[in-house]
Amino acid sequence: MRDRYYSKVILFGEYSMIFDATALMIPLKRFSAQWQLPLSRNRAASLASNQSLKHFCQYLSETETLSNLFDLQALKKDLDEGLFLASNVPTGYGLGSSGTLVAAVYDRYALQKTEDYLQLKTLFGQMESHFHGSSSGIDPLQCYLGKPFRITSKGVELLSDDFLKKDIHICLIDTKIKSNTKPLVDHFKAQRETPEFLKRFQSEYVPCVTACMDAMVAGDKEAFFAALKRLSKGQLEFLRPMITDNTMDLFAADFGFHFGVKISGSGGGGYVLGFTDDRKKASALLSLPCHSNVGMQGRKESMGGGFEVVWL
């Protein structure tokens, strides 16, 4: 059993993976969760986590396809004794707060574990549906494996911990807005029922995602930033509800150096992912209190800068 379960970042593929396209994930070891027994100074946090786990345990026991896969009696006993999941993973930020919980419960209480990662992804999707209404299972899979990987319809390809090239820097840009995954995913699923949207999404958007991933894994910086630029514009067109108003110009503007952004997780708040080959210029850009750019309709709009940034 693992000592802790790390948060995750979906670098690419959060919505295209629904079409069995590829996704690229990395662990974010800045945030994690681990099992603990309650301490008086953490009483409020431990009670909230313990209560959430009890609701999850009830969900597992009432779901026919899941109830026989776990030692739920042991889980109930441990929860009655106050066991909880101590976590500093921000909720509503697309970093896997529910994914760490699902991974931890599976790791500790599964009666029989599997090394078939696609099968495990499906199981995790069923488990995480308790929190989001529906889930691909990819978040808990990342939190469970704790290693970078690329996933396709054929399987999971584990990547080396140092596969990211040193001249591509990644940051988390805080929107200061908590994201609510379920309505955004429901909106996207409703959109894909429209034949025209579905056709264009698959033929125009998904190739941008694949190009970003292929270039990043290959270490081709120029190809990567060219693909990222296309992806940012594609997210404005196909995933507009997932982009917060205060980050709109980060997606729409051209900055004169290699810098681009995309949504993280389901979008709608939380963090936005930023990529650059010049960390100094990007830091200066994001720290500006206000930056005027031409917006999508040709009018001048404020970028609303002064963002809090976490570099990975």
Q: Write the pLDDT tens digit of every residue in 202-248.
A: 999 999 999 999 999 999 999 999 999 999 999 999 999 999 999 99
Query: Tokens 């205060």 — which residue?
Result: 246
pLDDT for the residue numbered 91? 87
CATH class name, domain 5-158: alpha beta
pLDDT for the residue numbered 94? 84
pLDDT for the residue numbered 200? 95
Spell 63-92 as b/e; 16+ CB within 10 A means b: eeebeebbebeebeebbeeebbbbbebbeb
Superfamily covering domain 169-311: GHMP kinase, C-terminal domain (3.30.70.890)
pLDDT for the residue numbered 16? 84
Q: Any idea of the CA torsion for 200, 202, 208, 211, to the nearest 10 degrees?
A: -150
* Ranges of CATH 3.30.230 domains, the chain: 5-158
Can you give the pTM of this predicted structure? Answer: 0.85
At 7-57, the pLDDT tens digits run 999 999 988 877 767 899 999 999 999 999 887 556 777 889 999 999 999
Q: Which residues contact residue 269 at a Cβ distance below 8 angstroms, ignoring those fewer than 6 apart?
A: 92, 93, 175, 177, 178, 179, 180, 244
SS3 275: strand
pLDDT for the residue numbered 42? 64
pLDDT for the residue numbered 279? 95
Task: Please tell me the distance from the alpha carbon of residue 304 to that of residue 250, in angstroms, as a whole number.
Answer: 10
Would you say the C-alpha torsion 231, 218, 155, 141 has a positive or negative sign? negative
Assess whether pLDDT exceeds 70 at residue 61.
yes
SS3 9: strand
* Ranges of CATH 3.30.70.890 domains, the chain: 169-311
At 291-306, the pLDDT tens digits run 333 333 333 334 446 7
At 261-277, the pLDDT tens digits run 999 988 999 999 999 99
Task: Please tell me the distance from the alpha carbon of residue 151 to that of residue 140, in angstroms, as a whole number.
Answer: 13
At 107-152, the pLDDT tens digits run 999 999 999 998 999 999 999 999 977 788 999 999 999 999 998 7
pLDDT for the residue numbered 38? 80
Residue range 178-188: mean pLDDT, rounded? 87
**Residue whose C-alpha is closest to residue 263's, from 188, 159, 154:** 188
